[in-house]
Structure formats: C-alpha cells, structure tokens
Amino acid sequence: MTTPSPTGAGLEQLGARLYATAPPTPLPFMAGVDLRAFVLDAADGPVIVYNNPGIDVAAEQILSLGTPRRLLVNHWHEGMHGSPALDVPTFVHERDRAHTERSMRVDGVFGGRQRLGDDLEVVPSLGHTAGTAFYLWDDGEHRYLFPGDSLWVEDGVWRAVILGESDRSAFLETLALMRDLDFDVLVPWPAQRGRPVLEPVTPERAREQIDGLVARITAGTPGPNV
C-alpha cells in the first residue's frame, strides 16, 4: 500500500489512485469514530464514494484530478450531511432513493449488480438498509471494497451495523457473497480515530472475519454493533 501523504488542504493520498477527504468528520453519535469520503482516480474519470462535508473542503483538489463523474452513496443515512456544493451527479440504490431525497439531491439510481466502466462495480447488499449498495473498484494494483458502515473495523474485528430497519437475512446473503468476492482492501465509511483507514486483507483473513460475523448474526447477537 502507498504510504498516506497529503496532496493539499482537504485531500490525502492513500494509494496510487485513491484519496480520502481530510480532515475527517467526527461521527456525531459515536465518540472516537470519524467519517470520510473517498476519491477514486477511476478509468473514466474521478468518482467520489460516500457523502461527507469534506467533499467541499477538498473540491479544488478533487477538480485537479478531473471533473468528478459520480458521487456514489452507499445508503440513505449519508444524506445527513446534505448535498455537497461541488457539482457532481449523485447516485444511490433505487430502494433508498426516496429516503435519500429527503435531505439531498439524487440524479440516478442502481438496481441489480452492474458495472460502471471497466474498473468499478455496484454490488447491492440490501442488509443495512433496504437499498444499501457496496462498490468494488479495481485500480490495477488493489481491489477495494466500499461497504459504507454496513461493515466496519473495531479494534481489528469486523462489525456489522444492524439497526431496526436492517434485514438480517439479507445481511447473511451479502456475507455469503462476500466470501467469494475478489477484494484485498476493505474501505468502510467510518474508522476509529487513530486507527488505519484502510483494512488490507488476504482471502483467508476476509473469510475468517466474515465467518465470525455470520456466527454472531445467526446467533441473534443484538445490534447495532454486532
């Protein structure tokens, strides 16, 4: 992995073609947890994953990479920040469109699993919310999986965020899919302050963490942080 380095106020380089907004935004209801947006220098032009106030702070640096083609929203909770001032078309899964539009603009939607160019793919999850979507990006060096806050890493353990609106059966279906999904870096929306933003994994490590999640969800471990 590339050593993180600043590229100017508002944007930090995490990989050869991956950037994060900086400084991060504190998660208002969980102490010591931060949120970021990520900027992908994708094959067809820059793509932003996750909505965050840092997008506008980093607007000049994002535009230096090119005109952003899409803002990919993982699920409707990201609307709590409102639409960025930066002019970028916003996309979300069709099942979360109505909720998202209560607080931010939506320009397009996804349905099933589909590709967005040669290097980026939408992988619907539908477990955390009815319209959660994961994004899988291959930059030629790594395959990054963006699960939003459906999954995140707490003290080295992958946690599932299961709310009252969440569908445990759909969550288990997503985890079954993930066991065979080809990725080597997990990039959640939230990260513990002071801990790594990226979670590099081997296939064996990913399956070990996924199996732990399946066991806790199947056992009925109460949420939200399973």
pLDDT at 82: 94
Answer yes or no: is 225 within a domain.
Answer: no
Query: Domain residues for 143?
Result: 5-217
Looking up residue 196, the CATH number of its domain turns out to be 3.60.15.10
Answer yes or no: is 25 within a domain.
Answer: yes
pLDDT at 3: 38
Number of domains making up the chain? 1
Q: To 5 degrees, how large is the angle CA 24–CA 29–CA 33?
A: 35
pTM: 0.93
Answer yes or no: is 93 within a domain.
Answer: yes
Answer yes or no: is 222 within a domain.
Answer: no
Answer yes or no: is 223 within a domain.
Answer: no
Q: To 5 degrees, how large is the angle CA 100–CA 106–CA 110?
A: 90
- Residues (pLDDT < 50) of the chain are 1-8
Answer yes or no: is 224 within a domain.
Answer: no
pLDDT in tens, 32-57: 999 999 999 999 999 999 999 999 99
From 191, 186, 171, select the one nearest 135 (Cα to Cα): 186
Contact yes or no for 197/191 (Cβ under 8 A): yes
pLDDT at 80: 87
Structure tokens at 92: 């979300």
Contact yes or no for 91/48 (Cβ under 8 A): no
pLDDT in tens, 60-78: 999 999 999 999 999 989 9
